[in-house]
Chain A
Amino acid sequence: MNVPAPNSTAPKLTGAEKIDVTITAIVPLNDLVTRFEFKRSDGSLFPTFSGGAHTVVEMQDGDRKRLNPYSLMSDPANRETFAISVRRDDEGRGGSLFMHNKVKIGDPMVISYPVNLFSLDLRARKHLFIAGGIGITPFLAQIKQLVRTNGNWELHYSCRNASLGSYVDELTQKYPHSVHIHYDDEKDFIDLENLLHGQPIGTHLYVCGPKGMIEWVRSTAGAAGWPTAHIHYEEFLAPKPGKPFAVRLAKSGVTVKVGAHESLLEAIERLGVEAPYLCRGGACGQCETDVIESDGAFMHRDHWLEDEEKALGVKIMPCVSRFEGKTLVLDR
């Protein structure tokens, strides 16, 4: 079948290339999580992706455009349908509420080509997955990939309770010996130290879930002597609201006021200034921007810059980080 060239009409090549899609299914899984399925609007096939990849979904909410990353959780070998599962966040900035409340079957949307910042290390002898809540999504695609390639894997999945356990039934029915479910309300927690103890050499550890869980898994594994090269994690940060601040973009010769509820990157884009990005969640490093001048305090929130770089205040990741102070001039 013909696969069209990447969309050449995409206005600016600042993120990954874009795909025009149509919503073909909306499947509520429980009170909080709903699955959205896409097909390409031109009827052609999607590109392949590898388990752990995400797509950036563009949401036109009135005059406001949101771009949120979601892990692809469909089968990487299924090129007809892409699917994401979105957890409704009533306290968030509104992206998940837009998906839950405004999107209808048949709606056209734009998503990005898949980008993988959480790929499997295929040198591993065994893949040990630790998921918390909606953090299950990248593992759903990775498991499908590993089942097809006869991979050695094991999943430990922690959910708040049985009614919020997205995909628990599917996982436990298909893979009863590889999937282990833990419910917080039954006081059943992952016994991490014992789980890590005795894992065969060549095991790689992957964690996706709330911030606290990621830190707990990374520090526990580190203390048990697991090399950092064997520990993989993914946490997309949503930009946090903060005080409005002004930024001068030196190359473009404009000054932009960043609103309380928009990110620095969104403000730059609002002015029509080209700014690179991929994940929009502080993980990929693509939007790294040089600071030319500053008088004030940086709120660095990304996972990309080293602590020393953050302290120097000469770089900022505009997708999630903010600034408070008198002057900020960026090389953009």
Chain B
Amino acid sequence: MSTFNFPESIRSRPVYGTLQAQVGKSHLMIADAHGAEAVLEMAAKEPAMMAQSHIIYIPKGMQFGLQIQALKPAQYYEGPSYAAAVSRIKRVLSDAAMGLQIYLSGTEGLIGQAQYEVMQAGFDYTAIQTEHRGSVARRMQCVHCKGITEDVMIDPFQCSHCGLNLFVRDHYSRRLAAFQGVCIDAEEPGNVPPSVELYS
């Protein structure tokens, strides 16, 4: 199973739900990796929505592409990375009309970045359906050098840009779509606890 129960945390930390088909004129689903399972489960309950659905999928090595295409969505796009898909996401949103329902599923990095694009289109983030699936890796910003590292799995983490040792916080920025990493050994340089895997 690709689901994970995140422990309760500070208010800043995003929480995710379960994708549920909404009443609307059209539907946009953006998913990566195991996020495909959430789309498949929603479609199984509400197959009629597929005729008005546009699905954008980034497999990240997973093999769900054919299963999603078998749902016969009105439009399907598969991209090799979020960076490759984002220009299409922006274009789809710029052409979209109210009545569109938006569903995001998969990793926190995908959900956060796609949510940012949706917010940029003037759509309220509280009206987006989200579901976390798959890896619990984080997209993280080093608050010191501002460099962003994708798929951070350990804490503390050495910044891949400036090399500082960072405590990976639950403090989250919707604007950056990233968790914040803060220097852990500022007072006593070199005093860094051993890294452990997130949630281990």
Interface residues of A, Cβ cutoff 8 Å to B: 123-126, 196-203, 222-230
Closest CB-CB distance, A108 to chain B, in whole Å? Answer: 44
Is B99 an interface residue, CB under 8 A from the partner?
yes
Contact residues, B97-128 vs A (CB, 8 A): 97-101, 119, 121-124, 126-127
Closest CB-CB distance, A125 to chain B, in whole Å? Answer: 4
Query: Judging by beta carbons under 8 Å apart, are A199 and B126 in contact?
Result: no
Please tell me which one of the listed residues B22, B98, B126 contacts residue A201 in the complex, with CB atoms under 8 A apart: B98
Which B residues touch A126, using CB under 8 A?
122
Interface size class of B (residues with CB under 8 A): 10 to 19
Which B residues touch A223, using CB under 8 A?
23
Is B25 an interface residue, CB under 8 A from the partner?
yes
Closest CB-CB distance, B119 to chain A, in whole Å? Answer: 8
Closest CB-CB distance, B8 to chain A, in whole Å? Answer: 24
Which A residues touch B22, using CB under 8 A?
225
Query: Judging by beta carbons under 8 Å apart, are B97 and A199 in contact?
Result: yes
Closest CB-CB distance, A158 to chain B, in whole Å? Answer: 21
In the complex the two chains form, what is the Cα distance from A226 to B124 in whole Å? 11
Please tell me which one of the listed residues B24, B121, B124, B126 contacts residue A225 in the complex, with CB atoms under 8 A apart: B24
Query: Judging by beta carbons under 8 Å apart, are B123 and A225 in contact?
Result: no
Which B residues touch A124, using CB under 8 A?
122
Is B50 an interface residue, CB under 8 A from the partner?
no
Query: Judging by beta carbons under 8 Å apart, are B126 and A125 in contact?
Result: no
Query: Judging by beta carbons under 8 Å apart, are A196 and B122 in contact?
Result: no
Query: Judging by beta carbons under 8 Å apart, are A125 and B122 in contact?
Result: yes
Question: In the complex where A197-B25, A201-B93, A230-B127 touch, is A225 in contact with B99 (Cβ < 8 A)?
Answer: yes
In the complex the two chains form, what is the Cα distance from A227 to B25 in whole Å? 12
Cβ contacts A to B, 27 pairs, < 8 Å = A123-B119, A123-B122, A124-B122, A125-B122, A196-B98, A196-B99, A197-B25, A197-B97, A197-B99, A200-B98, A201-B96, A201-B97, A201-B100, A201-B122, A201-B123, A203-B98, A224-B24, A224-B25, A224-B98, A224-B99, A225-B25, A225-B98, A225-B101, A227-B123, A229-B124, A229-B127, A230-B98
Beyond contacts A124-B122, A203-B122: 4 other A-B pairs, Cβ-Cβ < 8 A, are A201-B97, A201-B98, A224-B24, A226-B98
In the complex the two chains form, what is the Cα distance from A29 to B123 in whole Å? 39
In the complex the two chains form, what is the Cα distance from A199 to B96 in whole Å? 9
In the complex the two chains form, what is the Cα distance from A308 to B79 in whole Å? 47
Which B residues touch A229, using CB under 8 A?
124, 126-127
Which A residues touch B96, using CB under 8 A?
200-201
Which A residues touch B127, using CB under 8 A?
227-230
Closest CB-CB distance, A91 to chain B, in whole Å? Answer: 38
Contact residues, B6-40 vs A (CB, 8 A): 22-25
In the complex the two chains form, what is the Cα distance from A228 to B123 in whole Å? 11
Q: For residue A223, which residue of chain B has the nearest CB?
A: B23
Query: Judging by beta carbons under 8 Å apart, are B25 and A202 in contact?
Result: no
Which B residues touch A200, using CB under 8 A?
96-98
Q: For residue B23, which residue of chain A has the nearest CB?
A: A225
Closest CB-CB distance, A331 to chain B, in whole Å? Answer: 29
Which A residues touch B126, using CB under 8 A?
227, 229
In the complex the two chains form, what is the Cα distance from A222 to B99 in whole Å? 9
In the complex the two chains form, what is the Cα distance from A196 to B98 in whole Å? 8
Q: For residue A225, which residue of chain B has the nearest CB?
A: B24
Closest CB-CB distance, B123 to chain A, in whole Å? Answer: 6
Query: Judging by beta carbons under 8 Å apart, are B124 and A199 in contact?
Result: no
Which A residues touch B25, using CB under 8 A?
197, 224-225
In the complex the two chains form, what is the Cα distance from A199 to B99 in whole Å? 8
Contact residues, B54-93 vs A (CB, 8 A): 93
8 closest pairs, A vs B, by CB?
A202-B122, A225-B24, A227-B127, A229-B124, A125-B122, A201-B96, A225-B99, A199-B98
Which B residues touch A222, using CB under 8 A?
23
Query: Judging by beta carbons under 8 Å apart, are A198 and B122 in contact?
Result: no
In the complex the two chains form, what is the Cα distance from A228 to B119 in whole Å? 15
In the complex the two chains form, what is the Cα distance from A123 to B123 in whole Å? 8
